[in-house]
Structure 1
Amino acid sequence: MTTELSAATFKLADQAALSPAQQKLETQLMTFIKTHLNTPKTGLFVIHGDAGTGKSAVLAAAFAKLQAASRSTTANPLQQTNNYLVVNHNEMLKIYKRVAGITPELRKKDFQKPTPLINRLAKTDQMADVVFIDEAHLLLTQPDRYNRFDHQNQLQELINHSRVVVLVFDARQVLKLKSYWQTDALAPFLQQYPHQLFNLDEQFRVTGNASVIDWINHFTQGQLTAKPHDAHFDFQIFADGQPLYDRIRQRDATAQLSRVIATADFPYVVNRGTWYVTAGGLKLPWDKVNLTDDPWALRPETLNEVGSIYTIQGFDLNYAGVILGPSVGYDAKTDRVIVHPDRYEDQEAFKNRDDLGQLAPLKAQVIFNSINVLMKRGRYGLYLYAVDPALRQRLLAL
């Protein structure tokens, strides 16, 4: 693995670098695949874990091992199996394809978006042997004409066309209602199939101590606690967006992989000119549509842009400057963080669904999920600025 790829994005590690928990997961996963490859019903292996717990890293390592066995000239139970890794995230797909270009046992065609793979397998009436799904919480749970998906549930369709499915799922990273699973819906779904669950709970991305993670977790549940202090993690709250950006530029010059990212609270229309994020004295353009093969975080010019959940989810930064936009506010009476879905500009996230009941609490959860994703990007530091004056003053008072 090159230094560029191992240091950037999600941490792609070789076997020696996997933690004991990750090695245990990889061993159990490979055993499960061999056991269920030729059984009558599709086997499901589900990996749970919060942002930054190394889910993508171990998934990538296990998939490389699977493909090495599949393409080996030495007879083994996995030889000549037809396998894919699926991710419904353009920027992460680019990273996986870059990895394929430098890893002998991998091919770029091994990595797919879900809809094209589903449609191709259905059209040719084929079965994949093993399908890995990274960020399964991004799969669609309703039809989507824009994405040319005409069925009801992408996970169900992938199961229908696979002998074994391995999926990474984190309910706290669901960012759209059209990907939403009711809290109690996943368990009975899994009960239809032979399945195994594995939970990763060790934080690998954010190097701050437990108090840093606890602070973020409390914030994304609306609770404010004392600002944590960790000599090895730079956590700062800013009174203006410009000094936050200046700090990110300094960090990028010395440590690289430092970017400003924001909640989806500022207007943006695809391919309709340049749209800006404003944060006090700071005004920077939103990330542009990226038509290159390089992920957003690896392109030097994006230091002068603001990244979104759609360009940064699943990736490591060294330092993250997070702008909390107008949808994130503060209730002084309850001393709680509150959110305003009517001020959230990503209306694609809130396309109505008539099967989910009351949507107001689900919309609020989507916003808190997006904050969780953003705040857990930085490995060595987190810088915050809140557009809402009341929230900004309360954070500064911490």
Structure 2
Amino acid sequence: MKEKREIKLFEYPFSYDGLIEIRGNGFGVNWPLVYIIHNEKEAYIGETSNSLKRTKNHLDSKNKKHLKQIVLICDERFNKSAILDIEHLLIDYMNADQKYKLLNLNNGQSLDHDYYQKQLYVNMIDSIWKELRKKEIVQNELNVLRNSDLFKFSPYKTLNSQQYEISEAILDRITMEYSSDKKIPFIIEGSAGTGKTILAVYIMKKLSEYIRYTYNLADLEDEDEEDQAFQYHRTVLKNRDFTFAIVIPQTSLRKTLKRVFRRIAGLKASMVLGPMDVTKKKYDLLIVDEAHRLTSSRGITNIKAFYNANEKLGFNRKKGNQLDWILHQSRFQILFYDPTQSVRPSDLDRSFFKKVEKSQYFEKFSLDSQMRVRGGKDYIQFIDDVLHSKSPQNTGFPNYDLRLFDHIEDMENVIKKKEEAVGLCRMVSGYAWEWKSKTDPNCFDIKIEGKEYRWNSTTEDWINSVNSLEEIGSIHTVQGYDLNYAGVILGNDIGYDPNKQEVIIRKESYFDKKGKQNTTPETLVPYILNIYKVLLTRGIMGTYLYVCDPALREYIRNCIQLH
């Protein structure tokens, strides 16, 4: 009878005496495997084809001498490509698990590779994790971690080829021009779900390692191009007074990233700024995520502080804007931008970014690989076509659950069932009802088919709040976040004119006061369409729709039936 192949875990003391035991292990000298070295508080995850030699290297490193145990994760089926993937997944999950502070640098397998039977090996992480939980090396279940902000915004994510090439090009340019006096703006343009925030966080982590960490070169894995690039950047930037930060315009997303940065080695909550924070000091580099949400003074709250900031930096009191502040207060800027996610008139339009592109040293990059929505780029294009009254292309979404519901209660019930199964499922809507519960918590805001709902009771981290499953989230609670399944209510602010055969917007049914201030029905159209595009591209596994306007419902039904 053929012996069953299975994952095996071996634990040894992390010591020179432990090397003797590793030498006696059949996997110890000449077999690809993944390992974890840890004590009670810290851990390091790696991969190697010679665990005996690699363990000795780590024992000789002053940065890991204090660790106590080493765990070898072995399987006869492992190969070099497989262990690179498993190593990276373990780093990502153990970082989110938070039992240990990870000592890993971010120079591991940054680039995603394809290889024979890749999915087989990626799926092994479930079995590996169960064995690690049995030994109490990790603590949380994977489904819990996958829904956590610390996992979703992890700097240890494997990058796709576009993300990797962009990060290397920008870091090379910054390193090369560090000693010059050039001011260099970079714009990275990409639609919803193309991995802009992940790339921004990755670059922040990478820079923190170049500048602040004091690792020996022996801590790097086998010499390859990626390690050579790391050494080059580190040599130039290490211990320099290079100051950098990430700017997040939205309050909720900013607070989420502060929590994430607080729990990642090398990053700090103080590195996450709001636009107003930028006015306090100069930086070498400012990274701006969701740069399309940077604003002018038009229709904003706290206008006096905005005017004061303009005057402080030498701009016209009323004409200066937050992008001006970013450019003035830094030498290098990385602006992550998507014009189709601008949702208020105060958001800076494309013309402001076109001015940046006229800079002598400007450089532009694009992201177009869909990394969030399992329906891929075809689904994103489908939503764009539907909203803009174009004829959608007749392509299906076999890996995506897109449904139109005739009754709101049916959609709510399915969302709640999905929540029980996979978590992170919520109902969201455009701002088509007044927010009465903001001043009177006992009031209901939204009434549909005899069902009553309240808007989000908090604007900060609403998705993870206690009452979120019973509430409806607005655009300001979910932009920049993922959901597993999104139940989207299209309110009466959006409709369909069957005579003109086009989607229409109703200003009188749109209740975001700041969102429609100083607008005409015509100028409001792109903002409401953008709001619904953002909402309809939050769901990773699926999107469910309830449409209030009967004509729009039938239009969308016909579009979906094509698919």
TM-score (norm 1): 0.89
Aligned counterpart for 2:296 among listed residues 128, 132, 141: 141
Amino acid at match of 1:139: L
Q: Does the aligned pair in 1 maintain the 2:185–2:359 contact within 8 Å?
A: no
Shift of 1:344: 1.1
Q: Does the aligned pair in 2 maintain the 1:176–1:350 contact within 8 Å?
A: yes
2:201 is equivalent to residue 201 of structure 1: no
Q: Distance in 2 between matches of 1:39 and 1:145?
A: 39
Q: Distance in 2 between matches of 1:384 and 1:375?
A: 9
Matching of residues 1-398 of structure 1 within 5 Å: 1-2=95-96, 7-8=147-148, 11-15=152-156, 17-73=158-214, 76-78=235-237, 79=239, 80-118=241-279, 120-121=280-281, 127-142=282-297, 144=300, 146=302, 148-150=305-307, 151=310, 152-181=320-349, 183-223=350-390, 225=392, 229-268=396-435, 271-274=438-441, 275-290=444-459, 295-352=461-518, 359-397=520-558, 398=561
Shift of 1:54: 0.6
Amino acid at match of 1:96: L
Q: Distance in 2 between matches of 1:5 and 1:112?
A: 26
Q: Does the aligned pair in 2 maintain the 1:330–1:336 contact within 8 Å?
A: yes
Shift of 1:5: 6.3
- 1:149 match: secondary structure: helix
Q: Distance in 2 between matches of 1:2 and 1:109?
A: 20
Shift of 1:6: 5.3
The superposition leaves residues 210-258 of structure 1 with CA deviations (integer Å, 9 ceiling, x where unpaired) of 4422220102213364886433211100111111111110101001000
Shift of 1:269: 5.5
Shift of 1:305: 0.9
Amino acid at match of 1:334: K
Amino acid at match of 1:298: N
- Count of matched residue pairs: 383
- 2:525 match: secondary structure: helix
Structure 1: runs of 5+ lacking an equivalent: 122-126, 354-358
Q: What is the Cα-based RMSD across aligned positions, in Å?
A: 2.3
Amino acid at match of 1:26: S
Q: Does the aligned pair in 2 maintain the 1:320–1:378 contact within 8 Å?
A: yes
Name the stretch that deviates more: 332-341 or 316-325.
332-341
Q: Does the aligned pair in 2 maintain the 1:52–1:203 contact within 8 Å?
A: yes
Name the % identity.
Answer: 26
Q: Distance in 1 between matches of 2:168 and 2:510?
A: 42
- 1:318 match: secondary structure: strand
Structure 2: runs of 5+ lacking an equivalent: 1-94, 98-143, 216-233, 311-319
Amino acid at match of 1:113: G
Q: Distance in 1 between matches of 2:276 and 2:470?
A: 33
Shift of 1:47: 0.7
Shift of 1:193: 4.7
TM-score (norm 2): 0.64
Larger Rg: 2
Q: Distance in 1 between matches of 2:180 and 2:437?
A: 46
